[in-house]
Structure formats: C-alpha cells, structure tokens
C-alpha cells in the first residue's frame, strides 16, 4: 500500500481534481450506449 503525505494545500488541490473528474465521469457514463457501464453508476 502506498501512503501519501501531503500538505494541506496539496490535499485540497488533489481533492478538487478528483471531485471534478468524478463529476465528469458520471456524465460520461450517463451518455454511454453500453448498459453495463450505466449499471455501475
């Protein structure tokens, strides 16, 4: 297991990037034609 030690600003930046990408991923999943991907969300 990898353990990251981040400063507060780094942690906040990483959290914002991950939140942004997860939001975009759900949009992509909702527009897919593959039912299996839709069922994952």
pLDDT score of 39 more than 90: no
Q: How confident is the model at residue 38, as a pLDDT?
A: 56
3-state secondary structure of 5: coil
Mean pLDDT of 9-31: 83
Mean pLDDT of 9-20: 93
More confident position, 17 or 41:
17
Based on its alpha-carbon atoms, the radius of gyration of the chain, rounded to whole angstroms, reads 15
| 19 neighbors 11 (Cβ within 8 angstroms) | no
Instruction: Give the Cα separation of 1 and 7 in Å (integer).
Output: 20
DSSP state of 24: H
pLDDT score of 21 more than 70: yes
Mean pLDDT of 9-35: 80
């Amino acid at each position: 297991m990898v353990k990251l030690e981040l400063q507060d600003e780094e942690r906040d930046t990483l959290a914002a990037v991950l939140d942004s990408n997860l939001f975009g991923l759900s949009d992509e999943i909702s527009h897919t034609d593959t039912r299996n991907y839709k069922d994952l969300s």
